[in-house]
Structure 1
Amino acid sequence: MKILFIEPAICLSVFVVTLTSPLTTQYVYRRIWQETGNYSIEPDSNISECAKNKSSPIFAFQEEVQKKVSLFNLQMDISGLIPSLLSTFILLSHSDQRGRKFPLIVSSVGALANSAWLCLLSYFAFPIHLLIASTFIGALCGNYTTFLGASFAYIIDQCKEKKQRTIRIAVIDFLLGIITGLTGLSSGYFIRELGFVWSFLIITMAVTVNLIYILFFLEDSMKESSSQNVSVSFTEGLKNPFYRTYMLFKNTSGEQRSMLCLLLFTMIAYFFVVIGISPIFMLYELDSPLCWDEVLIGYGSGLGSVSFFSSFLGIWLFSYCMEDIHMAGIGIFTTMVGMAMTAFAKTTLMMFLVRLPLFFVIVPLSVLRSMMSKVVRSTEQGTLFACLAFLETLGGVTAVSTFSGIYAATVAWYKGFVFLLSAVLLLIPTISLSIVKCVSRNAGSYVLLIQEESNEDTSER
């Protein structure tokens, strides 16, 4: 008997992504370090190979490694951009008619192929640039954004009370925070105690278990809609998602369309900064003057993941005394403060304290998703999340590429510049959110649609 319970699949997927990211970054860092010069990093060494003295010969060497790692990450992100955009958009758009399980399965297959290749790459020490090719192939099946977009659409299918969507999405973010925090804390010990090969093998096994659960135990939330599908040609299959996206904006009134566009822009502008700066934190911590080892990086990642839990508490408490838009504003402002503080963090204690103002970094993402889901009808949720996932994929890859390039260009003269830039860029979603507030004060458009759907449902009964 199948069940309508997607949380286990989400948790396993987050475990995989959270563990894969630091392991891949540090594996690439060590491979490039060893291939760049004669300095070597012992696999079981507890000593961080990092020089704090600028007069040391290894200092210039590690600066060169930092640049090469940033540029390699840039190449990986660009290689997966186009296939990720197309697969994410098409898979999620079709989920409105063909069900939510298909994008979940396809993206999980891609994750399985990627993790298996990482395992082989680390075991046989294949050329590191083959990782770029595997990124391209894996992106053809979608990515984590595809999986998460389908998961949110799956959850909203089950949310009959639209007023509870904000809390329900926050609960999911809370669960993500627990998994992310525990995985982040343990990531350093995975490398130190098991090494890269066994760690990547554990990731592969986790993806396999997740795929089995989705295939054989998870019930599709849109079973009735999927059963009504008719066969279409390949060309029509490609046209339909774009047509549904066009109709998503055309079918709404002018005020609702303005609200939806503003919310999308605010979401992506904030997402651009948060996602783009995330990989830089690890490179910043590996370099002088911090010179963190893998365990300290795990601690920092775990502490940063507390933001999921604190964001959930913030949404749960603030929802009783303020509107969604005010919660999003608080999250953006505190994130801005955290980015500015990071630019001047020179000690381990200061770098840990930086996480405090970042405790509400997830709040804007959860709240804005909920607000957007209220602008469109229940039959358009898949198309909405397809559009959002498409923009998140495009914005995420562009952001990581942009921030990696900026960091590579500025690391030699001021490592904290990229964090100051991110704080300034957060003024853009702040201004956009202010415009959303003005529009909603005059029209309250996303609330009007809820009332219209309620009236339609009542009349049908």
Structure 2
Amino acid sequence: MKKFLLVEPVVAVYSFASFLSFPLIQQYVYRRLWEQVNNSSFINGLNISHCEINESHPIYIKQKEVQQRASLFSMLVDLSGLIPSLLVALILVVYSDRQGRKAALLLPSIGAFVSSSFCFAMSYFSLTLYLLFASSLISGFLGSFATFLGGCFSYIADLCNEEKQKTIRIALIDMLLGLGGGLAGLSSGYFLREIGFAWTFLIISLLHFLNIGYIIFCLEDTVKVSASQQQAFNIEHFKEIIFAVFMFFKTSSCRKRTVIILMLSAFIAYFFANLGGSSVFIFFELDSPLCWDEVLIGWGSSLSTLLFLSSFVGVYLFSCYLRDAYIVLIGIISWISGIIMAAFATTTQTMFLVRLPLLFSAMPLPVLRSMMSKVVLANEQGALFACIACLESLMGTVALIVFNSIYAATVMWYPGFCFLLAAGLSVLPFCIVWTIFYVKGIASDIRSYEKKSHLIHRFFPTLRQKVPGLHAVV
């Protein structure tokens, strides 16, 4: 069978299936906890949310209790898969430099298939919610989302030699993630209303199964490994992998190491603020005064399609005229303005309009990935993206824990506090990127001065002796 160097179909299917499951799990947990707290079934009428807005009503207090319990339960589920996902992401993505990228794509897809199958069984047979912890653990031990992303970006880095092409292809992957998430968000409410939780989870499982088949039989690996190079995984390979990221930083020059650390700091800081602020959107929309139902939540989530699509167009156009640092700064400003607007949204119309200032908010992450990838060598791509994947997995889980905890603590007096916190934290990556740009400009001036001085010393050795102040002018 002919194989293809196209990882984009894998990203599209995986992102759609995964992002379709995220809001469903949150709403399923919310409804099950609602039934436990109120001893009654969760009933939704057409375009009517099961939401009380009268603060003096007893249901309002129970509603807030459900909000708190749901956010804390989600936090614990995310935490359960953290440690295994960190270790597996480090091993698989670094190991892919030698043995191929497909393992870093295949194992997370199998984990997602098993996880969605668990969700199907839980919802169909009304099993305990604690089954989600087993699902999270299995997904973590098979790599989870961070390993999948690390494998995808390493795959793209192998294919691209030109800097602009690499930026655009990485932005394309992020756009596909956004498109998948947007379409999943748009359809999640209709899936839920028409066929319910169980059969929707079954469809998600089938999508992951098809993706596994494509990876095994249709996707060609970018790392060519001969039969003599294929070796069984042993303890020596494990030690090499563990120390690969450490050696990657140790053997780099001081300037290269400093630039990578600054870029990583900016990437993680923005990722933390962006993911944390976005993670409480559904709970915020379910709560009063918005009181959205599942269809409105689906429409709101689907608008992320426009955000990633507009961000990809922005990267494509801005990269023709602006440096990468400027593109990142524009994206951070877009995020800060939009999330501040969300903090004060009290009507459905305003909450939909929040997405307008967020149009370029997805640009910083792919551009920062591309900037880091351009700094390292071809045989260091796996180590770099393994480092990014581990930090993403760690900080992503920490962000979910922190923001869900803060939301649970502040929902009674000001639900929009998390959004203001995310905006404030986003100032840090803005300052870091500005510092990188400033330092890079100084370094460029120094290199230019050194080049000019070298030319003068080489071609006009007597001129410098006759005009002692010439070197200072140059």
**Shorter-normalised TM range:** over 0.9
Which residue pairs with 1:459 in the alignment? Answer: none
* TM alignment of 1:85-100, pairs within 5 A: 85-100=86-101
Q: Deviations over 1:272-322 (max 9, x none)?
A: 011112220000000000000000001100112311100011111111221
- SS of corresponding position for 1:407: helix
The answer for the alignment partner of 2:323 in structure 1 is 323
Residue type of the partner of 2:418?
A: V
Contact 2:280–2:407 under 8 Å retained in 1 = yes
CA radius of gyration, larger in? 2
Change (3 A) 1:415 1:232: closer
* Residue of structure 1 in register with 2:439 after alignment: 439
**Structure 1 segment 124-163 matched on structure 2, within 5 A:** 124-163=125-164
Hey, what does 1:457 align to over in structure 2? none
Tell me if the contact between 1:107 and 1:142 (Cα under 8 Å) persists in the aligned partners.
Answer: yes
Superposition deviation, residue 128 in structure 1: 0.7
* Mapping 1:109-120, distance limit 5 Å: 109-120=110-121
Compute the displacement of 1:331 (Å): 0.5
How many angstroms apart in 2 are the aligned matches of 1:414 and 1:240? Answer: 49
- Superposed CA RMSD: 1.8
Identity of aligned pairs, percent?
A: 49
For 1:443, the aligned partner's letter is A
Deviation at 1:226, TM superposition (A): 8.2
Q: Gaps (5+ residues) in structure 2? A: 449-474
Mapped partners of 1:258, 1:65: distance in 2: 46
User: What are the within-5 Å matches in structure 2 for residues 37-436 of structure 1?
Assistant: 37-42=38-43, 46-224=47-225, 228-231=229-232, 233=234, 235-436=235-436
216-225 or 17-26: bigger deviation: 216-225
Q: Could you say if the C-alpha distance between residues 163 and 317 of structure 1 is closer, same or farther in structure 2, counting changes exceeding 3 Å?
A: closer
Report if the CA contact (8 A) 2:90-2:386 is conserved. Answer: yes
- Paired amino acid for 2:139: G
Q: Quick one: distance in 2 between partners of 1:303 and 1:431?
A: 29
Matched residue SS, 2:225: helix
Would the aligned equivalents of 2:99 and 2:225 in 1 still touch at CA under 8 Å?
no
Secondary structure of 1:356's counterpart equals coil
Q: Distance in 1 between matches of 2:114 and 2:292?
A: 31
Secondary structure of the 1:432 match is helix
Give per-residue Cα distances to partners, 1:325-355, cap 9 Å, x unaligned.
0000010111011111111000001101111
CA contact (8 A) 2:33 2:70 kept: yes
Equivalent position SS for 2:54: coil
**Residue 43 (structure 1) shift:** 6.7
Q: Give, as a single letter, the amino acid of the residue that structure 2 aligns with 1:352.
A: F
Aligned AA for 1:2? K
Give a deviation string over 1:26-58, Cα, whole Å, max 9, x none: 111111111112242137765311011111221
Instruction: Return the alpha-carbon distance in structure 2 between the equivalents of residues 111 and 150 of structure 1.
Output: 15
How far is the alpha carbon of 1:134 from its aligned partner?
1.9
Name the CA distance, whole Å, in 2 between partners of 1:251 and 1:342: 45
SS in 2 for 1:385: helix
Assess if the C-alpha contact under 8 Å between 1:43 and 1:192 holds in 2. Answer: no
Please give the TM-score of this superposition, normalised by the length of structure 2. 0.91
1:201-237 deviation digits (Å, cap 9, x = unpaired): 000000000001101111111023786244452x323
Structure 1 runs (4+) greater than 6 angstroms displaced: none
Task: Give the SS at the match of 1:10.
Answer: helix
What SS is found at the alignment partner of 1:374? helix
| Conserved? CA contact 2:12–2:176, under 8 Å | yes
Once residues 30 and 374 of structure 1 are traced to their aligned partners in structure 2, the CA distance between those partners, rounded to angstroms, is 47
Amino acid paired to 2:142: C
User: For residues 143 and 227 of structure 1, what CA distance do their matches in structure 2 show?
Assistant: 30
